[in-house]
Structure 1
Amino acid sequence: MTPEEQKAFEDKLYAYVGVEVCSRKPAKDAVNETMIRHWTEVMGDNNPAYTDAQWAAQSRRGKTIAPPAMMYVWNQEGYSVASTGRASDPQTDMVEMLTEHGFTGVLGTNVKQEYFKEASPGDTVYVEMVIDNISERKATARGAGYFFETLATFSDQNGDKLGTQRFRVLKFIPQEQPAAAAADDKLEVPTRIPSPRGHDNGWWWNAVDEGKVLIQRCTDCQTLRHPPRPMCGECQSMAWDSIESTLDGEVMSFTCLRHPKIPGYPADPICAVIKLAEGTNIVSNVVGCDFEDVHIGMKVTGKVEQVDEKTMLPQFYPAQAGA
């Protein structure tokens, strides 16, 4: 773009700052025990304040509450959006304008939530959203682009503020990689991002390197936990050992990461939350089948395999029928 064209473009872009994406509207369903139970099961969150009515009745609240991090869940559009598409609004209009001007890449960079009040079953969560700010044009490793941030405010049926969520997105012009780079035998073949290994989880990754998946176990109350952490969430003991997983499990949730292609990773990897037979959950890849064949409740069995020249990882295959 010429300087004049860029100024005209940015005048249109920055006009979206402060524009309302949606006015205050209620969720289709009230806060309810069923969705709370499903969410806490997938997250592995056993806080009795969320699902144990008897325990909650004796607490200072006198009732169960929804996990604060579920705040954004209640107002989601639902599965129908996948087939009908999202209704046009100022945010989609702005994103389309950026795309039309060559900013075809998109990357969610961070989310920040603040909580002010708890919601309980029976409450109705309302949401309203604005485009809060748009950055100047930035040069990033992904390419030149603009960061924009939406601000969603959540309240209950009485108008009391429950919390806010800031969601920041980068829309950018993808950098072109030199065609000759793929043929340059002097370049190192990309590998997966190495796992961060620290004091609390290094032992777990070392076991994976040896072909085993271990599950941390509290030696005081015998509660299993994953991912590894120094303290038991049930009894707060710091004493622990581990057991080896059979790697038998079932799919609790899954998605396919189609775009953008990440160097060192296979195309369209299937990423899933797997509930292991021992009772803990693990995030891993489902392989050996097509995405269309994966379903919630699908039985899988895992293997620790070498996925590139530097990395060993557990991967899960569809279990054999009758196995």
Structure 2
Amino acid sequence: MSAFLTELKAFEGRTLTPTTWGPDEVNIPMIRHWVETMGDTNPVYLDDEAARATGRDGAVAPALMAQVWTMRTFTDKMANNDPSQVWTDLIATLDGEGFTSVVATDSDFEFFVELRPGDRVSLTEVIESISEEKKTGLGVGHFVTTLKTYRNGDDEVVATQRWRTLRFAPKPAEKPKGLRPRPALNADNAFWFEAAKEHRLVIQRCSTCGTLRHPTGPMCGACRSLEWDTVEASGRGTVYSFVVNHHPRIPGFDYPLVVATIELEEGTRLVANMTGVTPDEVEIDMPVELDWIDADPDLTLPAFRPAAREEH
């Protein structure tokens, strides 16, 4: 057991909230507000005769209102006074280790005695257990379970409530990854990026002499023709050269970033990211095959991964 958990476990059994009487007696106006809000039409809560017809001495408060009668007043809450030094020390201990956030997780009520208008209710709260460190969707933390005991003026136990909260260290907010830089689109290259959105890798071809070219351009470098069309690449090639980028870290990219010049089996070359491979696994002349990076709804780019080995 860690030193911190031992420190937390020392709080078990200690009184978190000393016996505290509720600010108001059980009363009909608050019961009426409650049942109207909850939509509970049981007449025993507001009508003495209806309650007597069930064997009771008169109207009773809904059992779930036990907690209502002991709630701190608005003035008390605004004063921000902790119920006890134990409470102050427990929160300080958790805060000191980064467990600064809290969320209620469950409440288990058990009822024993019905309350009637005129009753006064007290609350005593004891720390029952504190869990070891747990990993949750909200973050790492400790579950703190307390036992609340509600009593009436005759010192009868009206209800008990096991109240569990998670005191946790919130996960760091994830910064948006950001978008990859946008390509500079023009009349000479827009067709290529539009094909990429359809997961088609095309190569520009001179319509006059058949020469393939990339990067795209308006004129054939071999015959100077301005006429062109495209052919679809097979997606197979080899690594002609590569670099591994570590810095600067530009939003939209994962690092370390392998950027390779790929020689397609059609003979043209293009620069693309490598996927499915670590930097130390990349080699010159490595066979690769086409992959796709759907960076965002407006940008899809070809990438290359190690070619699958053929089984014989």
| Structure 1 residue 58: Cα displacement | 2.9
Between Structure 1 and Structure 2, how many residues are aligned? 180
Q: How does 1:261-272 map to 2 (within 5 A)?
A: none
Output the CA distance in 2 between the equivalents of 1:95 and 1:104.
Answer: 8
Please tell me whether the aligned partners of residues 138 and 146 of structure 1 are also in contact (alpha carbons under 8 angstroms): yes
Output the CA distance in 1 between the equivalents of 2:46 and 2:114.
Answer: 14
Output the CA distance in 2 between the equivalents of 1:65 and 1:182.
Answer: 60
**Counterparts in 2 of 1:88 and 1:27: CA distance versus 1, 3 Å:** closer
72, 80, 93: which one aligns with 2:89: 93
The match for 2:127 is 131
Output the CA distance in 2 between the equivalents of 1:82 and 1:126.
Answer: 18
69, 88, 107: which one aligns with 2:103: 107
| Residues 1:165 and 2:161 aligned together | yes
Give the stretch that moved more between structures: 80-89 or 154-163: 80-89
| Residues 1:142 and 2:138 aligned together | yes
| Structure 1 residue 28: Cα displacement | 2.1
70, 73, 83: which one aligns with 1:75: 70
Output the CA distance in 2 between the equivalents of 1:103 and 1:175.
Answer: 11
Please tell me whether the aligned partners of residues 147 and 170 of structure 1 are also in contact (alpha carbons under 8 angstroms): yes
TM-score of the two chains, using structure 1 as the length reference: 0.52
SS in 1 for 2:116: coil
Please tell me whether the aligned partners of residues 109 and 160 of structure 2 are also in contact (alpha carbons under 8 angstroms): yes
Q: How does 1:213-232 map to 2 (within 5 A)?
A: none
1, 8, 24: which one aligns with 2:3: 8
Q: How does 1:238-277 map to 2 (within 5 A)?
A: none
| Structure 1 residue 23: Cα displacement | 2.8
Equivalent position amino acid for 1:84 in 2: A
Equivalent position amino acid for 1:20 in 2: T
Please tell me whether the aligned partners of residues 30 and 124 of structure 1 are also in contact (alpha carbons under 8 angstroms): yes
Deviations along 1:62-112, one digit per CA (max 9) or x if unpaired, are: 300000000111111111133211335212421222112211221111111
Equivalent position amino acid for 1:16 in 2: F
| Residues 1:19 and 2:9 aligned together | no
Deviations along 1:248-285, one digit per CA (max 9) or x if unpaired, are: xxxxxxxxxxxxxxxxxxxxxxxxxxxxxxxxxxxxxx
| Structure 1 residue 124: Cα displacement | 1.4
SS in 2 for 1:117: coil
Equivalent position amino acid for 1:123 in 2: D
Q: Which runs of 5+ in 1 are unaligned?
A: 1-5, 185-323
Output the CA distance in 2 between the equivalents of 1:77 and 1:23.
Answer: 13
Please tell me whether the aligned partners of residues 114 and 163 of structure 1 are also in contact (alpha carbons under 8 angstroms): yes
Equivalent position amino acid for 1:97 in 2: T
Deviations along 1:270-304, one digit per CA (max 9) or x if unpaired, are: xxxxxxxxxxxxxxxxxxxxxxxxxxxxxxxxxxx
Q: Which runs of 5+ in 2 are unaligned?
A: 181-312
SS in 2 for 1:74: helix
26, 44, 47: which one aligns with 1:31: 26
Output the CA distance in 2 between the equivalents of 1:163 and 1:126.
Answer: 11
Please tell me whether the aligned partners of residues 47 and 58 of structure 2 are also in contact (alpha carbons under 8 angstroms): no
TM-score of the two chains, using structure 2 as the length reference: 0.54
The match for 1:49 is 44
| Structure 1 residue 40: Cα displacement | 1.1
Output the CA distance in 2 between the equivalents of 1:87 and 1:174.
Answer: 23
**Counterparts in 2 of 1:58 and 1:180: CA distance versus 1, 3 Å:** closer
Please tell me whether the aligned partners of residues 91 and 131 of structure 1 are also in contact (alpha carbons under 8 angstroms): no
SS in 1 for 2:34: helix
Percentage of pairs with the same residue: 35
Output the CA distance in 2 between the equivalents of 1:137 and 1:49.
Answer: 46
Please tell me whether the aligned partners of residues 127 and 145 of structure 2 are also in contact (alpha carbons under 8 angstroms): yes
Please tell me whether the aligned partners of residues 26 and 124 of structure 1 are also in contact (alpha carbons under 8 angstroms): yes
| Structure 1 residue 181: Cα displacement | 3.7
| Residues 1:60 and 2:33 aligned together | no
